[in-house]
Amino acid sequence: MVIASELKQGMVVRIENQIYRVLEVESKAGAAKMGGSVRAKLSNLRSGRIWEQHLRPQERLEDLELERHTMEYLYSAEGACTFMRPDTFEQIAVPVATLGLAEKFLQPGMELPIAFFEGEPIGVVLPEFAEARVASTATPTHSQQDAAWKEATLENGVSIRVPLFVASGEIVRVDLNTGHYLDRVRAERKRRA
């Protein structure tokens, strides 16, 4: 058991028979007779829904230990992504809803940690960002405006907004949590990696 004031980002807790990962925690001290509060932003590991919960600092929550196994991504079909354990060749299906936008950036052979609770896969530990090639966008222009954006379609079919200077064929980095453009991957950086 853990008390709400000890919650940390990344912890997994059970509330009302649902399993949640703690995304953000903010504690506020109380004044005089008013008790403090803990605001926690939680993600339901089965449905992927975000829930903001206000808790009393001394409220007890059940913290959970998860198993993690590194598994290889094979393919996506019928609303699920199939992963395989390289050591046992056991295959599991993870619902696409659990992965969200990140599913579009998975490549066959990619190895990712999968979180299990009581033998059931409940989440995939995804990288913060992914790289993808721009398939089509408007002709690049160099403008004095820093805040000007245009639509671009990536090779995986995802549409994002990119700065005006990005051209078709370039590789861009995308934040997997928000789906927003982060930066352009330069060719010399790519060669060194």
Residue 161 tokens read as 């907004």
pLDDT computed for residue 71 by the predictor = 94
pLDDT computed for residue 70 by the predictor = 93
Using one digit for the tens of pLDDT, what is the confidence trace for 65-84?
888 899 999 999 988 999 99
Using one digit for the tens of pLDDT, what is the confidence trace for 154-178?
999 999 999 988 899 999 999 987 8
**CATH class held by domain 129-192:** mainly beta
User: Which of residues 74 and 46 earns the better pLDDT score?
Assistant: 74
Q: How confident is the model at residue 143 (pLDDT cuts 50, 70, 90)?
A: low
CATH topology of domain 2-63: SH3 type barrels. (2.30.30)
HEC profile of 54-76: EECCCCEEEECCCEEEEEEEEEE
pLDDT at position 30 over 60: yes
pLDDT computed for residue 32 by the predictor = 59
Beta carbons within 8 Å of 85's beta carbon, 6+ residues apart: 69, 71, 72, 91
pTM of the predicted model as reported, rounded to 2 decimal places: 0.68
pLDDT computed for residue 187 by the predictor = 66
Q: How confident is the model at residue 146 (pLDDT cuts 50, 70, 90)?
A: low
2-63 against 129-192: fold identical: no
**Domain 67-124 is found in CATH 3.20.20.70:** no
Q: Where are the domains of the chain?
A: 2-63, 67-124, 129-192
Average pLDDT score, the chain: 85
